Amino acid sequence: MWAIIKFDKKNVNLLKNDLHKKIGKSLKFYIPKIGIKNIYKQKPMIKEINLLGDYMFCFHENLSNERFLNSIKFCRGMKSILNGHKLFQSEIIRFISKCKKAENEDGYLRFNFYQLDLKKSYKFISGPFIDKIFRIIEVQQSKIDILIGNIKTSIKKDNYLIKPI
């Protein structure tokens, strides 16, 4: 069963190690991430951004047992376990499978993760237009026509990361 855990970003490795010690190696974690390519001091680097902020998915067959959940509640690095994860297993599984299908070879989500809607506004999170808000005019197979203010331009889908506002 999948559970959603809120964790302290500074202590995520500590949390994973504590849970592995208490539960065992059959425990699985999944944190969907976006990788943003930047150049810092003339060296390319990838900045990782957790799609869900400080939440992650955790899988173990005993996570449906309340007594078991209470025994792991106070691990170092854990803020809380979200209630109601038992009721929404099908939605959690569907979301995780959608994320895994949209991952590239490095494990980061690709551009096609978001379903683009012509009625919504979006914001760049990478590239020269970072933090600029735009609207989509037309979506084609490999490029998108956008409107930033009064300026029309087109961008390639794979070159920039965006998020809906």
Give CA–CA dist 86/100, Å, rounded. Answer: 21
pLDDT by residue (tens digit) across 92-101? 999 999 999 8
Give CA–CA dist 84/3, Å, rounded. Answer: 9
Cβ(119)–Cβ(105) under 8 Å? no
Residue 115 pLDDT exceeds 80:
no
Q: What is the pTM of this model?
A: 0.74
Beta carbons within 10 angstroms of residue 35's beta carbon: 17
DSSP designation for 55: E
Residue 84 pLDDT exceeds 80:
yes
Percent of the chain with pLDDT over 90: 28
Residue 158 pLDDT exceeds 80:
no
- pLDDT for 32: 92
Helix, strand or coil for residue 113? helix
Domain ranges of the chain: 2-110, 114-164
- For the chain, report the end-to-end CA distance as a whole number of angstroms: 32
Cβ(57)–Cβ(31) under 8 Å? yes
**Chosen CATH of 114-164 out of 1.10.10, 2.30.30, 1.20.1530, 2.20.28:** 2.30.30
